[in-house]
A and B are shown apart, each in its own frame.
Chain A
Amino acid sequence: MNASDAAATVLIVEDDGVTRERLARVVAGDKSFLVLPPCAGVRDGTAALQEHRPRLLLVDLALLDGSGLELIRATATLSPETEALVITVFGDERNVLSAVEAGAIGYLLKDGDERTVSAALHEVLDGGSPISPSIARHLLRRFQSPAGTNPDTAPDAAPGGSATRDSTGGLTPREIEVLKLIAKGLSYADIATTLGMSANTVTSHVKHIYRKLAVRSRGEAVFEAAQLGLVRIEQLR
């Protein structure tokens, strides 16, 4: 493991006390991480974020005083160097993708043991992003549908049906290849061999894709707001 010399600070925001304590214990098991006092809600989480500017933020979505998405969005302004990971029970695409859209870099399963959690966190520190085949498949669909429509809410949009209009959706052909192989269930190592690149490159591709999704969804939000007259474009410059 190529952890940096200084231990990476980790902020955990989780409303369930037992899970919070367990997660803190699991992360603290790896000496390359320094666990900050865990938070239970959006408000103290925001304060801690501002105060500590952690390297990693592990956040649950359903918090007592709001949504974890607010916290993820806040990192962009309060602590830009923080990488956010969403804590989820199933790693299902609905929760993960909304978190990624808000700016998260990946997900962490709630029941993960010491080894898997530490592996996932190290992957993030190394510039990668945890992803599952199911999420990859949804990402492919999302990027292959025209901006502004979500294939999951627009049942008429067949997968790839509008490929002529926006077939890449801002993704490079290489990124699409990577996504397709992940969707097939190949491991990073297999993908790296198939595409002739290092495993690290594969995970950094995934990270780029996540970033693009976040930018894209922000763009859509701004576009919609401008359409509604809520924001003037000059204000954003």
Chain B
Amino acid sequence: MSAPAAHHYAPARISPRTTLRLLLALVMPVFLLLVLLRLLHPKPDDNVFTLSSVHIAQEQDLALWRMPERPQPVALPHERRGGHDRIVYFFVLDLQVPPDRLWAVYLPHLSMNAAVHLNGEILGHGGSMVPPVARHWNRPLYFTIPNGLLRSGHNVLAVESIGDPVRSGFLAPVYVGPHETLMRVYEQRFALTVVAALAITTMLITVAVLMCTLWAMRRSASVYLWFGLGAAAWAAHNFNLFVVHTPMPAVAWEWLWNVTMGWLVIFTVIFVLRFLDERLPRLERTLFGFGFVGSVALALIAAWSPNTLAWVGPHVWDSGVLLLGAYPVVKVLRRLAFSPSPEVGWLLFAGATMFCFGLHDWLVLTGRLPRIHGLLIHFSAPVVMVVFGHILIGRFVTALRESEALNVELEARVAAREAQLAANHQRLRMLERDQTIASERERLMRDMHDGVGGTIIAALTMTETPGIDVRRIGEALRHALDDLRLMIDSLDPLEGDLTALLGMFRNRVEPMLRASGLTVTWKLAVLPPCSDLSPERSLQLLRIAQEAISNTLKHARATGLHVTLEPGQDLKGRPAALLTLRDDGCGFDPARTSTGRGLANMWRRAASAGLELSVVPTMQGTLVRVLVPMH
């Protein structure tokens, strides 16, 4: 066991059914081969002359209307190994009466080219008879006989045949008979040799282009590249089957034909290895080395001696290539033994067909099978293509199903994730709301404790003090009520509108101010929205203003009060709103207890709300300035 992953596998128990399929995959190719050979060599009717025992002559100046003087008898098929360039086959046709219908001469198989003469008249030929010789080795020739040329008694048919430097001459039995009969067999053979080769080659070129394009779009799938390259090499190899006039010397053409077969097998081996997911880089490198060295060596041989190429090509190069071609078949067989799958089974069928046809051709080329068989490996191409197409479509459908299943799963996962996110968001919002409520509650508690609560307790204490002036209690309660109103105003959603906040305050205090007889002037500038005007800061600002006004009313003995709101700057030069309350009273003495406590309250409030406060007793009255940050 030299399989790289052998320790993973034990040979699978193979069921009789699988054994049958396995045998079928190996026997089917032989059957196909036999069917093909039968189709390629149709038997003509009885009313046709089969000319298989003939005389040949090689002299240069022969009279083609009569038998030569020293003819040499041979039997057809006749292969001329050993460089006989030109030869003439003579047939004698004895007729009692001349035919009353159109007759024809049909040469199903020859090499390389021939010209046909009847009774000294030329019937036709297959093109150039001098190098480069027109190539008809895989192409039947057919000539009709003009009326009156066949006569009763002796008729001499001379077939002038020519080989080429690499491929020796060959002639299979020749048929002479009625045109309508012969034409049918000729057409069948022409279709199978020429038309089929053309069709197969066209298919191979198409597959090569498709596969290489597929690989170009999906570089990771290298199997397609090697398959495409193999198809390309095979297509190039097949041109030899139907090209009559080569664009290069015959030797070069023959070299190309040999080399493309080698590369076809090399690419196939790499393809099979990659298809079976076996990466053997050293083996692949060796294969490439073999391909390059072989190609160069064959080129040198061709340049040195075309005759040597004719021998080395089939006997050395093709033998090596054949051995190499056996390797993937063995590989596939072994894989099938360890892990049978329909895919690999089909691959075995294709590989066995290709190898079987290749072995046949090698036997023909090396003279172990009659040459009349012809070369057949290209007929295995449709089998390979159909099998691979089948596998490819199967894989495509599987991939499609997998991606559909994945999509469904992905959608489900996205939906689940969305639901989770929504739940998280909801929880976060609840938390935020709870926190807002908690902090607002805390603030309200603090504000009540700081303002209303304290004042009411003071009023309560006063009621328990004997002889207290009831008006003082009323004053305290009114103070509590005013503070409650300030709290309500501070809760109004102002969106940072400081002017509106003070407008509300003005509306609150105006009746009281008017009642006190004080002349109050308000100048409230419209300021841009203040981003940081929290309810807490609003309330403290209003309380400071309230305190300042109540100080003015209680202690300043003032007649006028100016309240202004205008843009200003804080100590650091940043934008701020400046609230100024200036009375024209007597100012105050900071040492006095009652004002002192009121002032301390104002300072504390300013500090807690981030406001800058200054209270200045001037000669013309008291100046209270509050800076509200606007940044």
Q: Which residues of A contact B (CB under 8 A)?
A: 89-92, 111-113, 115-116, 119, 132-134, 137, 159, 183-187, 190
Q: Provide a sorted-by-A list of 8 A–B residue pairs whose CB atoms are within 8 angstroms.
A: A115-B511, A115-B515, A133-B503, A133-B504, A184-B499, A185-B500, A185-B507, A185-B524
Pairs of residues from A and B, 8 with the lowest C-beta to C-beta distance, nearest first:
A185-B503, A116-B511, A133-B503, A133-B504, A184-B503, A132-B507, A185-B506, A115-B515
**Residues of chain B lying within 8 A (CB to CB) of residue A119:** 511
Chain B residue at smallest Cβ distance from A110 = B481
Q: Within the complex, what minimum Cβ distance (angstroms) separates B244 from chain A?
A: 84
Q: Are B500 and A183 in contact (CB under 8 A)?
A: yes
Q: Within the complex, what minimum Cβ distance (angstroms) separates A51 from chain B?
A: 33
Kindly identify, within residues 472 to 513 of chain B, every residue whose CB is under 8 Å from any CB belonging to chain A.
478, 481, 484-485, 488-489, 492, 495, 497, 499-500, 502-507, 510-511
Complex Cα distance, B489 from A218, in Å, reads 29
From B484, B492, B505, B522, contact of A187 by CB (8 A): B522
Chain A residue at smallest Cβ distance from B482 = A111
**Residues of chain A lying within 8 A (CB to CB) of residue B488:** 90, 92
**Residues of chain B lying within 8 A (CB to CB) of residue A92:** 488
Q: Are B484 and A185 in contact (CB under 8 A)?
A: no
**Residues of chain B lying within 8 A (CB to CB) of residue A113:** 515
Interface contacts (Cβ under 8 Å), in number, total 51
**Residues of chain B lying within 8 A (CB to CB) of residue A134:** 489, 492, 504
Asked whether A132 and B514 contact (CB < 8 A) given A111-B481, A187-B522, the answer is no
Per-residue 0/1 for B452-481: is the Cβ within 8 Å of any A Cβ (1 yes, 0 no)? 000000000000000000000000001001
Q: Within the complex, what minimum Cβ distance (angstroms) separates B368 from chain A?
A: 94
Is B616 part of the binding interface, using a Cβ–Cβ cutoff of 8 Å? no
Asked whether A185 and B492 contact (CB < 8 A) given A112-B511, A113-B515, A132-B507, the answer is no
Asked whether A187 and B504 contact (CB < 8 A) given A111-B478, A113-B515, the answer is no
Tally of chain B residues near chain A (CB < 8 A): 24
Complex Cα distance, B524 from A111, in Å, reads 27
**Residues of chain A lying within 8 A (CB to CB) of residue B510:** 187
Complex Cα distance, B503 from A227, in Å, reads 42
Per-residue 0/1 for B599-622: is the Cβ within 8 Å of any A Cβ (1 yes, 0 no)? 000000000000000000000000
Q: Are B484 and A90 in contact (CB under 8 A)?
A: yes
**Residues of chain A lying within 8 A (CB to CB) of residue B502:** 185
Interface SS of B by simple majority: helix
Complex Cα distance, B485 from A183, in Å, reads 17
**Residues of chain B lying within 8 A (CB to CB) of residue A132:** 504, 507
**Residues of chain A lying within 8 A (CB to CB) of residue B500:** 133, 137, 183-185
Q: Within the complex, what minimum Cβ distance (angstroms) separates A193 from chain B?
A: 13
Among A115, A183, A184, A185, the one with the most B-chain Cβ atoms within 10 Å of its Cβ is A185
**Residues of chain B lying within 8 A (CB to CB) of residue A190:** 522
Q: Are A133 and B515 in contact (CB under 8 A)?
A: no
Is B526 part of the binding interface, using a Cβ–Cβ cutoff of 8 Å? yes
Chain A residue at smallest Cβ distance from B484 = A90
**Residues of chain A lying within 8 A (CB to CB) of residue B505:** 185
**Residues of chain B lying within 8 A (CB to CB) of residue A137:** 492, 500
**Residues of chain A lying within 8 A (CB to CB) of residue B481:** 89, 111
Complex Cα distance, B495 from A186, in Å, reads 18
Q: Within the complex, what minimum Cβ distance (angstroms) separates A199 from chain B?
A: 14
Complex Cα distance, B438 from A183, in Å, reads 30
Q: Within the complex, what minimum Cβ distance (angstroms) separates A171 from chain B?
A: 19
Chain A residue at smallest Cβ distance from B523 = A190
From B485, B503, B514, B524, contact of A90 by CB (8 A): B485
Complex Cα distance, B514 from A115, in Å, reads 9
**Residues of chain B lying within 8 A (CB to CB) of residue A187:** 506, 510, 522
Complex Cα distance, B526 from A116, in Å, reads 28
Among B495, B502, B506, B507, the one with the most A-chain Cβ atoms within 10 Å of its Cβ is B507
A116-B511, A185-B503, A185-B507 known; 20 other A-B pairs, CB under 8 Å?
A90-B484, A91-B485, A111-B478, A111-B481, A115-B514, A119-B511, A132-B504, A133-B500, A133-B507, A134-B492, A134-B504, A137-B492, A159-B495, A183-B500, A183-B503, A184-B499, A184-B500, A184-B503, A184-B526, A185-B500
**Residues of chain A lying within 8 A (CB to CB) of residue B515:** 113, 115-116
Complex Cα distance, B485 from A184, in Å, reads 18
Q: Within the complex, what minimum Cβ distance (angstroms) separates B513 from chain A?
A: 11
Q: Are B504 and A185 in contact (CB under 8 A)?
A: yes
Kindly identify, within residues 517 to 561 of chain B, every residue whose CB is under 8 Å from any CB belonging to chain A.
522, 524, 526
Q: Within the complex, what minimum Cβ distance (angstroms) separates A233 from chain B?
A: 38
**Residues of chain B lying within 8 A (CB to CB) of residue A91:** 485
**Residues of chain A lying within 8 A (CB to CB) of residue B514:** 115
Chain A residue at smallest Cβ distance from B489 = A134
Chain B residue at smallest Cβ distance from A138 = B492
Chain B residue at smallest Cβ distance from A131 = B507
**Residues of chain A lying within 8 A (CB to CB) of residue B511:** 112, 115-116, 119
Q: Within the complex, what minimum Cβ distance (angstroms) separates A119 from chain B?
A: 7
**Residues of chain A lying within 8 A (CB to CB) of residue B499:** 184-185
**Residues of chain B lying within 8 A (CB to CB) of residue A112:** 511
Complex Cα distance, B478 from A113, in Å, reads 11
Chain A residue at smallest Cβ distance from B524 = A185
Complex Cα distance, B489 from A116, in Å, reads 20
Chain A residue at smallest Cβ distance from B526 = A184
**Residues of chain A lying within 8 A (CB to CB) of residue B495:** 159
Chain B residue at smallest Cβ distance from A186 = B503
Among B495, B500, B506, the one with the most A-chain Cβ atoms within 10 Å of its Cβ is B500
Among A91, A134, A187, the one with the most B-chain Cβ atoms within 10 Å of its Cβ is A134
Complex Cα distance, B507 from A77, in Å, reads 34
Complex Cα distance, B505 from A183, in Å, reads 11
**Residues of chain A lying within 8 A (CB to CB) of residue B526:** 184
Complex Cα distance, B484 from A134, in Å, reads 15
**Residues of chain B lying within 8 A (CB to CB) of residue A116:** 511, 515
Complex Cα distance, B408 from A63, in Å, reads 65
**Residues of chain B lying within 8 A (CB to CB) of residue A111:** 478, 481
